[in-house]
Chains A and B, each alone.
Chain A
């Protein structure tokens, strides 16, 4: 097994360096998600001026999503289309980017468009990325280029994190000087983990 040590060490190091900035996104967002109140007070969301415009014709298509895609293309808005609401008088939907939300509302009778924008900042951007693609709105999710890429990247980070933790154990095992204390660390981890889960789940 020891013959694999140099190559595992190199992979642990390179993959670790590669994903560490992305791991930071997930970690910072945990703090943001758990302390939303603090973030809201310190870094409030900025509502940008409302824009009113007009389109000559609503570019209807085969599905609501395709219609919404045509609309944002016409308006020059970029992002991930979220829940689309449509009735006899209007079409409305938000368009999401990490830390920035654009809401579009179109009057079907007059073709008047109301665009509202919210600048949510870098902390909420990490929050958004952590939750994406997520379990909700699965049929719609991944309708933008950036979200398709983020989906792959988020999975990749998790798989590499699993590799890093397994390879980390492998590397530690061959460090004789750290072996004893390492067992103590693992044991403390097991006690904390099982203890917390026992009380939470029963």
Chain B
């Protein structure tokens, strides 16, 4: 009785989690294809990028630490995003602020009290590509956590989608196991899939 209830709930969850995630699956599938096929002409983004340069006068109060200085600059420029590539100098600071499809490289000169913004904006294909990889990870320092709330939310969503897909995979095995006699080729499909995965993840390097 309990087993019947579990398999019934498993099937329902498979259906509804699948329906809930369908748009996310399409987004990450299409953006994954774009990342693997940079030669697809229709989806070129780098050549179509828009570049703008803005110079703004700015005042940096003295006595602030590096984090406070960057926060202050962002506040004065009224911009937000994931901050990275910070380079602090005695009389200037360089950093970039990004969100999917947009990068703003900022140079602030304390002495001249000016801020130079070099902005890059991508088209829809560029936005899709950056959504796929936008997790706030710092290649040079893995211990750095994302510093923008929306990066954290998006990264949390990525984790959720991955866990959801793991559930869809495992639940499909349970669903098939129940009807395995009617779908005997499932043994073969499952075996081929598992052997392929084991070959790439484990056997290739042994």
Point out residues on A near B: beta carbons under 8 Å.
10, 13-28, 30-31, 33-34, 36-37, 40, 97-100, 119, 122, 125-126, 129, 133-135, 138, 146, 150-151, 153-155, 158, 161-162, 165, 168-169, 172, 175, 178, 181-182, 185-186, 188-190, 192-193, 196-197, 199-201
Contacts and interface: CB of A to CB of B under 8 A. Distances in A.
Contacts of B90: none
Contact of A98 (B27, B129, B205): B205
Contact of A200 (B32, B154, B168): B154
B196 A22 contact: yes
A18 B189 contact: yes
Given A133-B36, A135-B129, A162-B26, A17 B15 contact: no
B33 interface: yes
Nearest to A39: B142
A178 B196 contact: no
Contacts of A186: 19-20, 22
Contact of B186 (A14, A21, A100, A185): A14
Given A98-B204, A138-B38, 13 more contacts: A20-B170, A23-B168, A122-B202, A125-B201, A155-B33, A162-B29, A172-B19, A178-B15, A185-B15, A185-B20, A189-B23, A192-B157, A193-B27
Nearest to A138: B38
Nearest to B202: A122
Contacts of B166: 24, 27-28
Contacts of B26: 162, 165
Given A34-B137, A190-B23, A22 B159 contact: no
Interface of B: 12, 15-27, 29, 32-33, 35-36, 38-39, 99-101, 127, 129, 131, 134-135, 137, 142-143, 150, 153-155, 157-159, 161-163, 165-166, 168-170, 172-173, 175-176, 183, 185-186, 189-190, 192-194, 196-198, 200-202, 204-205
A33 B135 contact: yes
A24 to B, nearest CB: 6
Given A21-B194, A168-B22, A185 B16 contact: yes
A100 B196 CA distance: 18
Contact of B172 (A17, A25, A31, A200): A17
A10 B186 CA distance: 9
22 contacts: A13-B176, A13-B183, A16-B172, A18-B189, A20-B193, A25-B197, A25-B200, A27-B162, A30-B158, A33-B137, A34-B159, A99-B205, A100-B204, A119-B205, A135-B36, A138-B38, A150-B200, A153-B200, A182-B16, A186-B19, A192-B157, A200-B131
